[in-house]
Amino acid sequence: MRLASVILDIPTQSLDSAYSYAVSDSLIELEVGSAVAVPFGGRRAVGYVIALEEIDENDESAFAARGLNPAKIKEIQQVLSRPYFDEEAAACAQFLSESYIAPLSSCIRLFTPPGGVPRMVRKGGYWQIEDPVIGAVDDRWVSLGAAAKDFHPKANAVKQKAILDALAGGELRVVELAMEFGQVSAVLKTLAASGVVNIEHKRRIRGGVQTGDSGHTPSLKPPLTPGQKSALEVVNAAQARRTGDVVLVDGVTGSGKTEVYLQAIEKTLEEGMSAIVLVPEISLTPQTVARFRGRFGETVAVLHSRMSQGERFDQWDLIRSGFARVVVGARSALFAPVKNLGLIIIDEEHEGSYKQDSAPRYVSRDVAHWMVRRRGATLVLGSATPSIEALYRCQKTQDWQRVELPARVNNQEMPQIEVVDMAREFGSGHRSMFSRRLTQALLETVDAGHKAVLLLNQRGFAKFVLCRSCGYSPQCPSCSLSLTYHEKGSMLVCHHCGYKQVLPALCPECSSPYLKKFGAGTQRVEAELKALFDTPLCHPGATTCHSERSTQCAVEESSEAKDPWIVASLSSKAPHNDIAPSCHSERSEESTWLTDKSSSLAQSNKSQRVPKIVRMDADTTTGKGSHQELLEEFGSSQAAILLGTQMIAKGLDFDDVVLVGVISADTMLRLPDFRSAERTFNLIEQVAGRAGRSHLAGQVIVQTYEADAVAVHAAARYDRAAFLKDELPKRRALGYPPYVRLANVLVWGKDEAEVKQAAQSLFADIEKLIFDVVGQGWVCLPAGPCLLSKLRDTYRWHIVIKAPLDQDIAAVLLPLFRKRKASKTVNVAVDIDPDDLF
């Protein structure tokens, strides 16, 4: 008897193992990785075959050893697909399920094509198979055949003549002919039967990449620096050993880590193997993709969320076919169906986006390490700011090696980082979101025709709105968070669930008109930048403003404001008024920041340029191709300012960026999370690396209200040792990674009382389990509300577990959660090695 082990596509913890089904002799096409239809209980289900074996029907002991009763084994009803994955992928799915306490179906789905799998759906009381919504696209192409030269259509065969005339210019798709001439199928069939035309089926790859021989000429390999050579030698040696080693490439921004990756991949391909390159989603820019396609051509497949399902399916299929041997993508590309894997590269390995936030909640770095050990491949981690966990493993683990790239490839010095204490700025009467130093640097950069990058990790116009009369602040009804004000449409938006409402004219609580917008988002910074460069200016002593625009102020004539550009910018719409007591601008208290511009220009004889301001955040990059369009717009402008959230902190390489400004370095520093200082340190160093990458010197200005914070001033000196000296003792004393392993048990539901009761009951069960199984050495914190206690209209509690590094938390907790009966109203999930505890 032939038996198949099948993982059912039913997402529940209770289905904790594969089920055995008999395979009839008629199902000769069945292979590991195929989707199948099977009976399950009183219904049909879709499943995936993860193993096949032969067993002697007469050997009762063989069935007993597998816990099977031959009389109760059911047969597979139907094979639904070609294989999606192989035995290695099936083993990885099992590993993910056990290591991250996740349903098997969720794990195996990682290895199936996007949108290209069958589903079982209930319609009219019956279970029916729904075909995949996405599949391969085969186009029919028409070209002139051998008989076309001597063929003369009849006088009334107008459509035949028109089609032949069109084909005289070259082959065309049937759909293109149909768009021009209407129904053409019957005509083409007639012509094809006579050999007048040839009709050929060709696979169309959505997204524009084809599978033909393009005659690609690889981009030139630049000479390697001594540091790059050393790093490449270490990687090549690890590949030669084929023991699953890890190499951490610790290199400053601009040190040439990507070229090390490219040459390591080249060697991998020469040896007949494939490579996977993971890049954070926010860093997966056209620039990044172009580097790999420039070197390896059409053998590069790209997978990321900004592609359509059809495009992702085609790229996945090119990988499965073996045509594409280099995969570049976000974290899910780790599970692409590559053949003969030899190398995995995780760039910017410190990034939190490599942690999956839904089942299975895996850590990409750790799953990649498991993969390379099984396959004898090599894992390369790269970062200018490696994670503390990776640095710790390099010190403590024999098969982890760290190599340094301490200098840029062009020997250009790293830009100097200047920290501006915004508390002092405020104390001296400066109310602008731009410090005097940053304002001056922006003006000088633009005047010189260069580029600047401004980082603010907060989209929107203002972080929150507050009534000055009663203290009311609009909250999201579904989340325990304040709504963010967006100037476009005057909307209040929740950045977690997407809830929107129009900003009320009056306070809903006390009817006061004094609703003040606090904090600054990228929209607000954009508005202030435009005001800085596009509008008339206020003289340092001016107290009036009668401009139609809220940020336009009159320039009072004085000896300090005689610059020709300033004088020329005055108009009848912005007259000065010596006796008006205040500015009529809505934000008059902040208009004084413009004084620095007039002072700066008064000392300059250059004409003021108006820069191109490009804003890049989640609001401006929703459209397909919007990332590329914005970057091209920034790159093609002579004097430009790129303003954005942390998506601009990495992966951008423009030679003429000479200034980087961090509007507020405190955004993450103030978060109540054990990684907040590390994230702040990393972000400052990462964004600083965008400046001065070519022959032009760079400068970085970091604005903060926490100028004395170790993370800030250590980053300003590129002094990782000083940061770790301060950070590591805190982590050890409080019991956080890298000294312990964490698990965060999440409990959520619509009813707050039910969630609380379920969390407290689960805490008691976990505490007892830990005491019974491991005894001392573990810490289980009592159940309590999450920091985000309400999210998307659900209440959230959690239980935090801390265990020694050499302990397997999942192995201890797995039996409890596999046996736990699912609730219809309260959900539970376990996050092993969480990136945060929110």
Same domain, 712 and 664: yes
Residue at 585 is within a domain: no
Classified as helix, coil or strand, 290 is helix
Residues in the chain, how many? 838
pTM: 0.81
Examine residue 157 and state whether it is found in any structural domain, yes or no: yes
Q: pLDDT higher for 620 or 716?
A: 716
Predicted local confidence at residue 536, as pLDDT = 41
How many domains does the chain fold into?
A: 6
Same domain? 147 vs 76:
no
Q: Residue 683 is part of which domain span?
A: 414-458+522-541+607-736
Q: What average pLDDT does range 688-704 have in this prediction? A: 87
Q: Is 247 found in the same domain as 195?
A: no
Whether residue 795 sits in one domain with residue 720: no
| CA distances, 431 to each of 264, 592, 594 (Å) | 51, 7, 10
CA distances in angstroms from 131 to 50, 124, 188, 308, 451, listed in the order given: 21, 17, 30, 19, 51
Quick one: 529 and 485 in the same domain? Answer: no
Q: Is residue 556 part of a domain?
A: no
**Pair 252, 358 in one domain:** yes
The answer, yes or no, to whether residue 93 has pLDDT greater than 60, is: yes
Of 364, 382, 405, the last residue of a domain is 405
Domain boundary among 130, 162, 195: 130
Q: Inform me whether the pLDDT recorded for 477 exceeds 70.
A: yes
pLDDT at 344: 98
Q: What is the CATH number of the domain that holds 756?
A: 3.30.70.600
Q: Are residues 658 and 613 in the same domain?
A: yes
Give domain status of residue 593, yes or no.
Answer: no
Domain shared by 381 and 237, yes or no: yes
Q: Using the Cα atoms of residue 350, residue 356, residue 360 and residue 364 in order, give the sign of their dihedral.
A: negative
Q: Are residues 25 and 120 in the same domain?
A: yes
Together in a domain, 756 and 806: yes
Q: Is the pLDDT of residue 159 over 50?
A: yes
- Secondary structure of 229-274 as H, E, C letters: HHHHHHHHHHHHHCCCCEEEEEECCCCCHHHHHHHHHHHHHHCCCE
- Domain membership of residue 581 (yes or no) is no
Pairing type for strands 491-493 and 484-486 reads antiparallel
When pLDDT is cut at 50, 70 and 90, the band that residue 535 belongs to is: very low
**Does residue 602 lie within any of the structural domains?**
no
Q: If DSSP codes are grouped into helix, strand and coil, which group holds residue 727?
A: helix
Looking at the structure, tell me whether residues 27 and 123 fall in a common domain.
Answer: yes
How large a percentage of the chain has pLDDT more than 70?
A: 87
Cα–chain center distance at 203: 30
Question: Is the model's pLDDT at 388 over the cut of 90?
Answer: yes
- The SS3 of residue 49 is strand
Question: Tens of pLDDT along 355-386?
Answer: 999 999 999 999 999 999 999 999 999 999 99
Planar angle of CA 197, 199, 202, nearest 5 degrees: 145
- What CATH number is attached to the domain comprising 621? 3.40.50.300
Q: Using an 8 Å Cβ cutoff, are 268 and 343 in contact?
A: yes
* 168 plus 292 within the same structural domain: no
Peptide bond just before 738 cis, omega within 30 deg: yes
Q: Over 60: is that where the pLDDT of 600 sits? A: no
> In which residue are the tokens 């096409």 written?
29
- Domain boundary among the residues 736, 769, 801 is at 736
Please state, in angstroms and rounded to a whole number, the distance separating the CA atoms of residues 441 and 435. 10
> What confidence score (pLDDT) does residue 558 get?
31
Q: Can you say how many angstroms the Cα of residue 697 is from the centroid of all Cα atoms in its chain?
A: 30
Angle of the 87-99 helix axis to the 364-375 helix axis, nearest 10: 140
Q: Which residue has the tokens 């070209």?
A: 143
Q: Is residue 328 part of a domain?
A: yes
Lowest mean pLDDT among 36-45, 204-213, 708-717: 204-213
Is 476 a domain residue?
yes
